[in-house]
């Protein structure tokens, strides 16, 4: 029998790409998603259970009727700016409901978890690129939730034998290279899809929040990782756990950074459109530079980013919209 994977939040942007990759490989998949930000049509070939990971009765029924070999957890709210103005939404969903999921896993004796963490756990880094062992000092409730969960998962690992890999994402971008899936958040907050809306004529301009950071052009620098490479990281994390490893925390990024202005230039190169820009004040909770050291994932997960060229990511996302 194929290993059976429960993908929580599997109808969202990254989750749906992950489900497609699992189904194309050697896994059986069930998706649990409340469709608050996900899309039913993003997982047409998977078993979809519409429901919330905070629903203890639903989880008891689900785990009681199926045997899952592992869980991949994508079901988090991810908007840094929103987390600053509405932190309760983030602590209740990202933290509280994950504890409900962990209880159900524990009751069902499911002991393998791949958890979506974030580079936001680091805050303003002391050194660049950022290593997994560097100081953790999140600047916003979103990052604090993720760091608390990493610490909780470490406790569960010690006390209950949970095997868990925490993957600290940098900035996911791009779309399915086959053009089947793409990014479609509403409201959209990610830079590249917003720029593509400007290029498509659906939005008049892009706002740049802060042009006085201590970076070469004054705008924030981020590490962009293709969603396909990101999902391959999860696949290898599953292999890592199934091989008997206890787990660990790993950065997933391209290992290099691009400023906001550099991303805008790359979008103009790919689309042939001029992007109109407006400048706004800095946003609270934004770090100046976030770039990953990815050596740990290379050596321990045998992972590497194959689609790390920024214009390739943009081209895939642009093609999926046309």
Active-site positions read: 142
Residue 45 to residue 2: CA distance in whole angstroms: 16
Return d(Cα 87, Cα 92) in angstroms, integer. Answer: 9
Query: Residue 57 phi/psi, 5° resolution?
Result: -65, -45
Q: In 99-192, where do the E strands start and end?
A: 112-118, 163-169, 171-173
- For residues 309, 314, 315 and 316, what is the CA-based torsion angle, rounded to 10 degrees? 100
CA distance 138 to 124: 8
**Measured between alpha carbons, how far is 290 from 155 in angstroms, rounded to an integer?**
27
- Our measurement of the distance from residue 82's CA atom to the centroid of its chain's CA atoms, rounded to an integer in Å, reads 17
Report DSSP letters for 240-297, one per residue.
HHHTT--EEEEEES-S--EEHHHHHHHHHHHH--PPPEEEEPPPTT--SEE-B--HHH
Distance (Å, rounded) from C-alpha 2 to C-alpha 8?
Answer: 19
């Amino acid at each position: 029998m194929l290993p059976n994977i429960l993908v929580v939040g599997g109808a969202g942007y990254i989750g749906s790409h992950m489900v497609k990759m699992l189904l194309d490989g050697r896994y059986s998949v069930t998706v649990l998603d409340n469709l608050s930000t996900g899309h039913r049509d993003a997982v047409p070939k998977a078993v979809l259970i519409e429901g919330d990971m905070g629903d203890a009765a639903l989880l008891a029924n689900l785990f009681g009727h199926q045997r899952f070999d592992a869980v991949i957890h994508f079901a988090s709210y991810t908007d840094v700016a929103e987390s600053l103005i509405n932190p309760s939404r983030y602590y209740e969903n990202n933290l509280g409901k994950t504890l409900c999921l962990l209880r159900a896993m524990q009751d069902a004796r499911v002991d393998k978890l791949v958890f979506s963490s974030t580079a936001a756990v680091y805050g303003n880094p002391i050194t660049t690129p950022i290593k997994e062992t560097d100081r953790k000092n999140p600047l916003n409730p979103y990052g604090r939730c993720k760091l608390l969960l990493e610490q909780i998962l470490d406790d569960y690992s010690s006390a209950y034998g949970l095997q868990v890999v925490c993957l600290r994402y940098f900035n996911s971008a791009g779309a399915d290279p086959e053009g089947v899936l793409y990014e479609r958040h509403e409201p959209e907050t990610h830079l590249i899809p917003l720029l593509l809306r400007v290029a498509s004529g659906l939005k008049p301009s892009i706002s740049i929040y802060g042009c006085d950071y201590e970076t070469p052009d004054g705008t924030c620098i981020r590490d962009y990782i293709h969603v396909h490479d990101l999902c391959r990281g999860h696949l290898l994390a599953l292999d890592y756990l199934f091989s008997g490893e206890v787990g660990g925390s790993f950065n997933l990024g391209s290992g290099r950074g691009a400023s906001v202005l550099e991303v805008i230039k790359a979008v103009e190169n790919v689309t042939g459109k001029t992007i109109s820009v407006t400048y706004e004040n800095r946003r609270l909770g934004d770090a100046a530079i976030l770039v990953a050291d990815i050596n740990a994932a290379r050596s321990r997960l045998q992972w590497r980013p194959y689609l790390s060229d920024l214009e390739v990511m943009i081209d895939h996302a642009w093609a999926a919209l046309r």
